C-alpha cells in the first residue's frame, strides 16, 4: 500500500511505537517476527523519506542499514524500489539553487518536486547535473516530445507542451514552461503521450481547500535533459507505438510558482 500524507514526525513516532512492541516481544520469536512483518510497510516508507528524517532526527535516523538489515530478504518485486531509495540516501539529499530566473523570486511561492516513473526500468539515475543529484527516466518518450497537466477527478485536460527538435538541447538540463494550472485533489503532471507512466501526483502535495487567499493556481516549469543513452540503458518501450525515437529523457525537477488570487 502506498503511504501518503505522512510527515517525519509521524514516522518518528510510529517507529518508536514499533521499537516498544519489539522490546515487549523479545522473548517470543513468533510474536517478534509478526511485529516485524507488520513493520515492513513503515520501514519502506522510512527508507523512501530517509534524507528528510535524518535531517529532522539525526540521533535516531543515523544509519539506514539498520532498517535494511531489519527487513532482511525482500521480495523480488520490492527490490528495485529499495535499490532506488538506497541510491537517493547515498546521494545525501543534495539540493542545487533554483535556476534563473527563479532565484530572484520569493521562495515562499515556489515548490520543487521530482516526478516518479511507475513502470519500466531504470526508474531513476544518479546525475551530478540534476537539481537533487538524481533524475527520473521518462517512460517511452514520444517524438516530438510531449508533457502536460490533467485533472483526473474532473476529467479535464490542462495545458500541454510539445517540443519540436529545434527546442531541444541534448546533454544538459533546460527549463521548459508548461503554463498555468489549477490543482485539484486528484491531478497530475504527465510525461509522454505514449505512456503517462512517468508523472507527478499533485493533490497531496499542493492542493488545499480554496479560500480568500488560495485558488490553487500555479505556473509550472519542467526541467528536462535529452540524451541518446541514460547510464548505459536505452529507454524501454511498453506501449504500441514503435520505438522510432533515438533519445532518452530525464526530468530532474518540476517547479511550481504560486499565482496571486484573481
pLDDT tens readout for residues 76-87: 878 877 887 887
Q: Is the pTM of this model over 0.85?
A: no
Average pLDDT over residues 195-218: 91
**Cell 507488520 identifies what position?**
38
Query: Is a pLDDT exceeding 60 seen at residue 53?
Result: yes
b/e string for 191-230 if b means 16 or more Cβ within 10 A? bbbbbbbbbbbbbeebbeeeeeeeebebbbbbbbbbbeeb
Query: Is a pLDDT exceeding 70 seen at residue 218?
Result: yes
* Angle made by CA atoms 202, 207, 210, in degrees to the nearest 5: 155
pLDDT at 247: 56
Amino acid at each position: 500500500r502506498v503511504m501518503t500524507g505522512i510527515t517525519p514526525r509521524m514516522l518518528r513516532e510510529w517507529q518508536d511505537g514499533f521499537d516498544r512492541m519489539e522490546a515487549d516481544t523479545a522473548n517470543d520469536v513468533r510474536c517478534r517476527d509478526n511485529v516485524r512483518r507488520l513493520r515492513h510497510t513503515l520501514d519502506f516508507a522510512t527508507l523512501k523519506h530517509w534524507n528528510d528524517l535524518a535531517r529532522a532526527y539525526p540521533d535516531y535516523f543515523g544509519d539506514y542499514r539498520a532498517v535494511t538489515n531489519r527487513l532482511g530478504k525482500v521480495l523480488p518485486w520490492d527490490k528495485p524500489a529499495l535499490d532506488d531509495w538506497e541510491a537517493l540516501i547515498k546521494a545525501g539529499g543534495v539540493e542545487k539553487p533554483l535556476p534563473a530566473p527563479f532565484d530572484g523570486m520569493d521562495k515562499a511561492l515556489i515548490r520543487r518536486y521530482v516526478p516518479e516513473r511507475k513502470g519500466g526500468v531504470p526508474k531513476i539515475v544518479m546525475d551530478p547535473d540534476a537539481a537533487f543529484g538524481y533524475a527520473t527516466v521518462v517512460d517511452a518518450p514520444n517524438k516530438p516530445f510531449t508533457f502536460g497537466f490533467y485533472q483526473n477527478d474532473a476529467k479535464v485536460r490542462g495545458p500541454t507542451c510539445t517540443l519540436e527538435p529545434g527546442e531541444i538541447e541534448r546533454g544538459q538540463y533546460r527549463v521548459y514552461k508548461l503554463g498555468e494550472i489549477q490543482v485539484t485533489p486528484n491531478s497530475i503532471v504527465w510525461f509522454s503521450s505514449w505512456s503517462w507512466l512517468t508523472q507527478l501526483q499533485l493533490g497531496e502535495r499542493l492542493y488545499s481547500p480554496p479560500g480568500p487567499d488560495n485558488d490553487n493556481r500555479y505556473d509550472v516549469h519542467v526541467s528536462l535533459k535529452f540524451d541518446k543513452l541514460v547510464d548505459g540503458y536505452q529507454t524501454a518501450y511498453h506501449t504500441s507505438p514503435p520505438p522510432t525515437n533515438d533519445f532518452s529523457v530525464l526530468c530532474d525537477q518540476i517547479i511550481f510558482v504560486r499565482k496571486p488570487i484573481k
